[in-house]
Amino acid sequence: MTARRIVADVGGSNARFALSPNYGVLAELRAYQVQDYPTFYDALDVYLGETGSRKGCRSVIIGVAGPIDGDCVHVTNSPWHIETGRIETMFAPGAKAGLVNDLEAVALALPHLEDDDLQTIGSVARNPAQRKTMAAVNVGTGFGGATAIYTPHGWIANPGEPGHMTLGARSEEELALFAGDDTVEDYLSGRGLPGFYTHLCRKLGEPDPDEVACAEIFAQAAHDPAARRLADLFAIILGRVSGDIVLAAAAWGGAYLCGSVVNGWLATGGGEEFRTHFESKGPMTERMAGVYTGLITRTDTPLFGVSHLPFHNG
């Protein structure tokens, strides 16, 4: 098939590619392990060879886990460095390449998600037809966020770095837990949760845990007091921070959660606690009680998001 556009989603562990012949349409999805390829260009070249999609390609748009610096990016947690100019040399003259942040890619998908792509948290119904600003909140290896904003020219996305916001205490327990310079990502991320868990084990008189994955910590919540308390505090902090993001961005269209860590947490049943602290915002509590929250369950969301960016002419 004629490619017209190739879209990619690049993280520290995996690179996913697809063809996008039209807005929101994905075909020939493939995934490659980053560790198997010296550079991004090697992985792209393999994809082009397997799909025969080099000919006719007008553009390549890549969602990348890392801060975009003009026309280049160094992928977070990976040795890969990506430059749009080098990508363009792999195609016929006139083809264009572009980079967006990975959470920007997720935000671009939000206006186009269907109800089947989401698991609602709470009882507020979603109404994307209102074209209100929406926030994507990712809890994975790190903590990230971006907003989808409607303009007279259509939807645009604006990425941010909320994971590096300072985390304040609102109880004696939190005051004993948080240091003065702790950030959101120190607790709400794959990097931060093991230390969080160890602290709670010590507080409850349990031995220091062996190295354990975040999913395993949440899976132990039914019988491990430290894991149960971690799941509860996670819900409280995530609800509070997600609500703050909504307030800061006027994201009345909702907060959309994604990421491997938040998937594991939600299985512990913390949605009600999350909503309580999401809504508890003083004079804005009544308004927040009407804001949608949900978990994105669609697995190709970043690819789907960037496929909605305008095509280059030519």
pLDDT digit string, tens, across residues 33-74: 999 999 999 999 999 999 998 888 889 999 998 888 889 999
Given a cut of 50, whether residue 242 has pLDDT beyond it is yes
Could you give the domains of the chain?
5-101 (3.30.420.40), 114-297 (3.40.367.20)
List, in sequence order, the alpha helices (H) in the chain: 40-51, 84-88, 102-109, 172-177, 193-203, 214-219, 225-249, 260-266, 271-279, 285-288, 301-306
pLDDT digit string, tens, across residues 67-109: 888 899 999 888 999 999 999 999 999 999 999 999 999 999 9
**Which amino acid does the sequence have at 251?**
A
Contact between residue 124 and residue 290 where contact means Cβ atoms under 8 Å apart = yes
pLDDT range class, residue 314, cuts 50, 70, 90: very low
* Average per-residue pLDDT for the chain: 92
pLDDT range class, residue 2, cuts 50, 70, 90: low
What pLDDT is recorded for position 103? 93
- Rounded to an integer, the average pLDDT of 185-214 is 89
pLDDT digit string, tens, across residues 110-152: 999 999 999 999 999 999 888 999 999 999 888 999 999 999 9
CA distance 199 to 196: 5
